[in-house]
Each structure stands twice: as C-alpha cells, then as structure tokens.
C-alpha cells in the first residue's frame, strides 16, 4: 500500500516544506485556531470551490496541475478586482487512499504559483472525503486608487478582452476540456497542446489587473470563468432578480452589447477542434458560438470609455488587449450582427 | 419533484432574504468577483470544512441545525482567539436533488446565528456535489489588547474550561453523537436531550472569549473541538514534528498537565450514556475517559497564572470557569492520578 498522510500533524509538517511562513502580513505561525494577519484598510476577498468530478477529473489532471489550478482560479478573481494578492487559506478534502506522493505533487503545483507572488498559506482545514476537493479563500490589496468592479459600463464604452498570449485564446480552455474528456490526457495533449494547457494550467492575469487598476481605474472588469456569453451580461450590470443595487448603478438590464468576433481571430486549435467534431461524424460546431460559450479561459473582460489606454496597458505588462465591441443602449447581445442568446455555464441551470 | 434551486442567480436572491448586506465593514454588494471589505489593521481568520458523512449526517440533523452548526464551529475558533467576528464567506456544495425548502432551512439556521453577531455574509461559492458540504471562512478583530493563542503556558499555570451551562458539559457532545448514531434523532432526543442539543446546536462562546481577552489577555486559550485528550497537548505547546516555533516559545513537549476530573463533576446524561452501553450488553464505558476523548463540545480551554480572574470572567459574561488542573513541568498528561495516553480525534490517524 502506498504511503499516505499519517496524521494532521504529518500534513502540517508537509505544508511547511512547500509554503513560506514568514511574510510581513502574517503574525502567527501554523497550528492555532486562527491566523493572525496584518491587513490593509481595504481588502478584497474571494472564495472558490474546486471539486473532483465537478470542476476537474483526476483521470487527466496531474496532481501538480490540480494544486496549481486551484490557486490560479482564485488569483484570477483578484486579478479581476485589480488587486495584489496577500495571502490565502486552503481547505483540503483528501480521499484516505490518496498516496502521499500525490499530495506532495498537489502542494508542489500550488506552491509554484504561490511563490510567484510570495503568497503565504495562512491557514485552512483538512478532512477526509470520498473525492478530492479544495476550497481556497484569498485576499489582496488595491493595486490602484480603488478596486475594479463589474456593472460600471455606459453605452458607447469599448469592450475588450485581455489575453496573455496570441493567437487569441477565447474559448480555448473549452476546446481543451472537451478534447481531454474525449481523448484522455495523452491523446488530447498530442492533438491540442495549447488548448489542454489552457484548461490544465490557466495563467491568472494578476499583473494585467494591477496595470489596469493603475492606468485605467474607471475600467469595469471581471474574469472570464463561465464564458463570455454568461459573463458579459454580468459585466453589463444584468443582475439577478431583486438584487440590491449600488446607488449610482444604471437600471437593471439597461444595456446590451455589439460584439465582433471574426472566425479568423480565433485560435487555430479551437477551429481545429470544431472541425474534428465534424470529421468524426458529430454535429458541426460553430467556432464563434464555442468561443462565446467557452468558460475557464481566465482572461479579463473589461469595458472602458478611454480605449486609448489599451496600448499603454499592453506595453506596461506584456499582455494583449483585444477590442471585441461596444456597449449599446439597447439590451441584448449581438454577435457578428446576429442576436446571441445561448447561455454559458451555470451549475444550477435547469 | 420538489422545487429546487433553479440557478446561481436564484440562490443569490435567496441569500439576500436571509443575510444583511449593509454593514459598515462591507463596501461592495453581492455578485462581484471579490468582496470589498473594510478591515481593522490586525485580523484573525479561520476556515473550516463541514461535510456530510464526515462531520455530520443528514439522517438526524435538521437543515436548520446544519446551517447553524456550520457557522457555530467557525465562530468558536474566533472565540478561542478572543476575537469579535466581523464577517464570513460561505462556500456551499449542494446535491442537485436537495429541495429548495431544505436550502431555506439551512440558510435560516445560519442567519439566526449570523444575526446574533450582526455578521454579514460577504461572499463565497456555490457548486453541485454528491453530498452536502460547507466551507466557511470567518474573520474578526481583537477583543482586547491582543489575540489569544495556544502554547503560551508555563508550569504552575491553572488549567480551566469555560462552559456556557451546568452541569459541566465536557464530553456531552460525544454522548449526543453516539446516541444519535445508535438511536436516531427521535430516540436519542428522548433519551439524551441535552447531549443531542450539544451535538446539534453547539453554542460558540464569543462573549467569553471577548471577556477573557479584555480581563486576562495573558491567557493561553483554544476551543475544544477534537477532545480534551487531543487538544490539551496543543494548548501546552506540543507541536507537530519540526514545526516552526515562536522565538519566545518553550522547548517542544516541555510541559505536561495534572488533571482532576471527578466523575461527580460530569454531566448526568454523559454518565447515563456510559451506563446505557453496559445495559445493552456492550463493553462498559469509563465516563472520565469519555469526557477526555469527547470532541465538538466547543467549550474553551485556557491556562492562566492568575486564577483569581476566573470569577471576574464568570461575572462578566455569565459563563462557568471550571478549574481542571495545573500545568506541570514534567511532560505527559495525568488524569485523576493516572497517566492518560488515549488520543482524541484525528481525521488521518492510522
């Protein structure tokens, strides 16, 4: 039988070999009821669940990738707020049979990303469970004069997407996910290496968020986790029914958007994936619709009334700001001159 | 089919009817990537998992009790730090088939406790899953001149347990748990009403923690979640192997304790539970050993060199401070003049 985690204390010792304990924001050591933290006056805080067979499969993720991605999706929320990360808590559900070496790989992947931002692991909880699961809470401080929010758009604003690489990767993680589901890790990595990498090891755009907060603090910003089709209405301020509103907010569902997303802009692996579906006799996929629906790219979606700032942001942090359209006074989403109504991903849509 | 949660937006709307959104510490409304929060300079933060069939069973918990307890165990960590709670994030794993009315009951129980402390729900995440699960992160500010910690004991210190009611409830939640497991909700509630209530609806001792922080800030304090047998060594500063140490900390495993726990002090329902085991032909249970092993009472365990302060704490917040023994220079735990070596609960002990 493989060597497993022997006790909670054994696990705490393991954490110390992967995560820095001494940062200026942390006053206490591991092992107490609470972490004692030095905080800036204004903090942004985010929590996310990352669960086996809901958010990932162990059949095609390495444990290194799982540890990395669990933290990456949380960092992406801070990026969307234009925040600088300061620390995180990790709650870990471990199957009893999980070999110690897999746990070590998971911590290795997480610490690789944590050390990029000198980010302390300040606490959390450990439990057995049938399936692997992580729940991370992360916080950060303002990168500019204020945190960035959704729902601050006005008609005429330029809509743009920030990407860390070209060709433009919108929808690419979806191609990776479907390829991994269909062909497994080895097959998918051969056919769609960049799409798989986008799904397995997404890059949180922290530096881009900080740059936008500093250079364009009036930008409305969010990260693309559930797909543009679902996230764009959120950026535009479409809220849930009866949602509380900011005093200066526009009326609910007031605005729409006109999007230009030419097929030629999309990533070759996304186009190839849509073709492959057809080649194996399945219904043809429309690449533009797939790009609209694709979640988990963790690009940033923004709206600004000063598009001249976009080249400055690109120069500041080496990202690509792709203009995709404009905010419109009339509600509804128009893509390539046609009304678009398909929804992105909702865990509870029925 | 019962009415279920229809979408994430449906769930967000539901949250608004149970949780206050407008507190002075919260700058943003629900629905953005991050919560924007006003923080004091020094914060204590804690996270806990609360998972079906690991930490609770739905067969004998009501959903109201589950929502209440999930928050209570987190509040108890703040109580142990002598902290005043300021806000919490909730991550919720919901089985797809869970009726909306059960979700409402869960939120009702949680909001009953949250409103006692005017505590905002500032964010979190929602996911489907096979089993119900919660992960709460909670934070607070100092109730006195500093946060209270474990591991600050010195030989000769008085060890005490803070309880919210008499007879002394140490081990009572364990009696409740075993009774609920054996007889189910109805049978256990008839036989052991107070023991069941201690397991189902534990009372976080926030006011007691604040009182200790104010009146006796040199106290070493923690909450009894895993049982006195397991938690006492933690209070005494027994750390995991190779753990980082505070510069002023005593050597590892330096201290022990001498505990007096007469059977007559223990709760009648705990004694009755031990007798009942014998009556139905199972091995006799030693009530003192059960009180030592029993977890989830969420009493506070403290160590002080000024025991004269204990009556002041009792008078200040209406709790009971039961002296249970002294910190000793020699390591090891002695209970009623006999060495005690049984361990409390460890999720990963093997």
Superfamily per CATH, domain B9-142: PurM-like, N-terminal domain (3.30.1330.10)
Q: How far apart are CA A35 and CA B47, in angstroms?
A: 9
Fold of B158-242+249-340: Phosphoribosyl-aminoimidazole Synthetase; Chain A, domain 2 (3.90.650)
CB of B207 within 8 A of CB of B121? no
Say yes or no for a CB contact (<8 Å) between A33 and B222: yes
pLDDT band for A350, please (50, 70, 90 cuts): very low
Overall average pLDDT of the A27-44 stretch: 86
CB of B33 within 8 A of CB of A231? no
Residue B241, min C-alpha distance to chain A (Å): 7
Whole-Å CA distances, A13 to A282, B47, B117, B240: 51, 19, 35, 7
Q: How far apart are CA B66 and CA B18, in angstroms?
A: 15
Task: Give me the helices (H) in B216-266, please.
Answer: 228-235
pLDDT > 70? residue A343: no
% of chain B residues with pLDDT over 90:
73
CB neighbour list of residue B175: distance below 8 Å, 6 or more residues apart: B192, B195, B267, B269, B270, B273, B290, B294
Instruction: Give B-chain residues touching A140 at CB under 8 angstroms.
Output: 34
Counting one residue from chain A and one from chain B, the pairs whose CB atoms sit within 8 A come to: 258
- Mutation target among A4, A16, A33 for the B interface, most CBs of B within 10 A: A33
What residue in B sits closest to A25 (Cα-Cα)? B42
Each residue's pLDDT tens digit, A181-225: 999 999 999 999 999 999 999 999 999 999 999 999 999 999 999
Say yes or no for a CB contact (<8 Å) between A77 and B33: yes
What residue in A sits closest to B12 (Cα-Cα)? A240
Determine phi and psi for B90, rounding to 5 degrees.
-120, 125
Residues of chain A with CATH 3.90.650.10: 158-340
- Of the candidates A150, A206, A202, the one whose C-alpha atom is nearest the C-alpha of residue A174 is A202
Determine phi and psi for B313, rounding to 5 degrees.
-65, -45
What the block records as the tokens of A106 is 């998971």
CB neighbour list of residue A25: distance below 8 Å, 6 or more residues apart: A37, A38, A39, A86, A87, A120
Report pLDDT for B343: 59
Q: How far apart are CA A30 and CA B239, in angstroms?
A: 10
pLDDT band for B278, please (50, 70, 90 cuts): confident
Residue A10, min C-alpha distance to chain B (Å): 7
Q: What is residue A1's three-state secondary structure?
A: coil
* Mean pLDDT, chain A, integer: 90
- Mutation target among B55, B78, B233, B348 for the A interface, most CBs of A within 10 A: B348
Report pLDDT for B254: 64
pLDDT > 60? residue B347: no
Instruction: Give A-chain residues touching B133 at CB under 8 angstroms.
Output: 93, 133
Each residue's pLDDT tens digit, A105-133: 999 999 999 999 999 999 999 999 999 99
Report pLDDT for B247: 58
Each residue's pLDDT tens digit, A133-171: 999 999 999 999 999 998 888 999 999 999 999 999 999
Report pLDDT for A49: 97
Instruction: Give B-chain residues touching A344 at CB under 8 angstroms.
Output: none
User: Which of B33, B38, B49 is opposite residue A223, by nearest beta carbon?
Assistant: B33
Beta strands in A264-335 (DSSP E): 300-304, 320-328, 332-335
What the block records as the tokens of A210 is 């900080």
Report pLDDT for B350: 34
Helix, strand, coil proportions of chain A in percent (round to 5)? 35, 25, 40
CB of A21 within 8 A of CB of A87? no
Instruction: Give B-chain residues touching A8 at CB under 8 angstroms.
Output: 240, 346-348
What residue in B sits closest to A241 (Cα-Cα)? B13
Each residue's pLDDT tens digit, B47-102: 999 999 999 999 999 999 999 999 999 999 999 999 999 999 999 999 999 999 99
pLDDT band for A253, please (50, 70, 90 cuts): low
The CATH number of A158-340 is: 3.90.650.10
Q: How far apart are CA B65 and CA B80, in angstroms?
A: 22
Task: Give me the helices (H) in B192-267, please.
Answer: 193-200, 206-215, 228-235
Determine phi and psi for B259, rounding to 5 degrees.
-115, 135
CB neighbour list of residue B221: distance below 8 Å, 6 or more residues apart: B80, B81, B82, B148, B149, B150, B209, B212, B300, B301, B302, B303
Say yes or no for a CB contact (<8 Å) between B13 and A241: yes
CB of B210 within 8 A of CB of B85? no
| Residue for token pair 């609806």 | B201
Report pLDDT for A32: 77
Say yes or no for a CB contact (<8 Å) between B137 and A77: no
Say yes or no for a CB contact (<8 Å) between A16 and B234: no
CB of B167 within 8 A of CB of B271? no
Residue A325, min C-alpha distance to chain B (Å): 22
Residue B264, min C-alpha distance to chain A (Å): 31
* Mean pLDDT, chain B, integer: 90
Residue A113, min C-alpha distance to chain B (Å): 20
Each residue's pLDDT tens digit, B195-240: 999 999 999 999 999 999 999 999 999 999 999 998 998 898 866 5
Q: In what order do the strands lie in the sheet with B35-38?
A: A121-128, A83-94, A133-142, A42-51, B35-38
CB of B99 within 8 A of CB of B3? yes
Report pLDDT for A349: 44
Fold of A8-142: 60s Ribosomal Protein L30; Chain: A; (3.30.1330)
What residue in B sits closest to A47 (Cα-Cα)? B124
- Mutation target among B5, B99, B125, B208 for the A interface, most CBs of A within 10 A: B125
Each residue's pLDDT tens digit, A49-77: 999 999 999 999 999 999 999 999 999 99
Say yes or no for a CB contact (<8 Å) between A6 and B147: no
Q: Which of A95-99, B188-192, B251-255 has the lowest mean pLDDT?
A: B251-255
b/e per residue A221-236 (b: at least 16 CB within 10 A): bbbbbbbbbbbbbbbb
DSSP string for A96-131? TT-BHHHHHHHHHHHHHHHHHTT--EEEEEEEE-SS
Residues of chain B with CATH 3.90.650.10: 158-242+249-340
Report pLDDT for A25: 76
CB of A340 within 8 A of CB of A177? no
């Amino acid at each position: 039988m493989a060597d497993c985690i022997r006790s909670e204390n054994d696990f705490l010792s393991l954490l110390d070999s992967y995560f820095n304990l001494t940062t200026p924001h942390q006053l206490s050591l591991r092992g107490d009821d609470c972490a004692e933290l030095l905080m800036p006056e204004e903090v942004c805080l985010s929590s996310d669940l990352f669960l086996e067979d809901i958010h990932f499969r162990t059949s095609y993720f390495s444990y290194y990738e799982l540890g990395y991605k669990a933290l990456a999706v949380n960092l992406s929320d801070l990026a969307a707020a234009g925040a600088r990360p300061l620390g995180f808590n990790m709650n870990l559900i471990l199957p009893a049979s999980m070999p110690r070496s897999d746990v070590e790989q998971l911590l290795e992947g997480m610490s690789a990303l944590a050390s990029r931002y000198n980010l302390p692991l300040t606490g959390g909880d450990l439990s057995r469970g049938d399936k692997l699961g992580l729940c991370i809470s992360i916080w950060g401080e303002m990168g500019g004069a204020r945190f960035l929010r959704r729902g601050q758009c006005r008609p005429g604003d330029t809509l743009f997407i920030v990407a860390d690489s070209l060709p433009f990767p919108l929808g690419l993680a979806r191609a990776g996910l479907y390829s991994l589901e269909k062909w497994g890790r080895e097959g998918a990595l051969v056919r769609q290496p960049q799409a798989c990498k986008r799904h397995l090891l997404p890059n949180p755009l922290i530096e881009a968020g900080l740059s936008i907060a500093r250079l364009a603090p009036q930008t409305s910003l969010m990260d693309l986790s559930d797909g543009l089709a679902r996230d764009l209405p959120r950026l535009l301020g479409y809220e849930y029914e009866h949602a509380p509103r900011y005093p200066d907010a526009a009326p609910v569902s007031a605005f729409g958007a006109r999007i230009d997303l030419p097929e030629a802009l999309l990533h070759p692996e996304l186009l190839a994936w849509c073709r492959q579906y057809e080649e194996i006799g399945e219904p043809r996929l429309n690449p533009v619709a797939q790009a609209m629906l694709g979640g988990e790219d963790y690009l940033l979606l923004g709206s600004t009334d000063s598009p001249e700032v976009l080249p400055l942001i690109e120069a500041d942090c080496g990202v690509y700001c792709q203009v995709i359209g404009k905010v419109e006074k009339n509600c509804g989403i128009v893509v390539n001159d046609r009304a678009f109504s398909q929804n992105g991903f909702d865990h509870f849509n029925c």
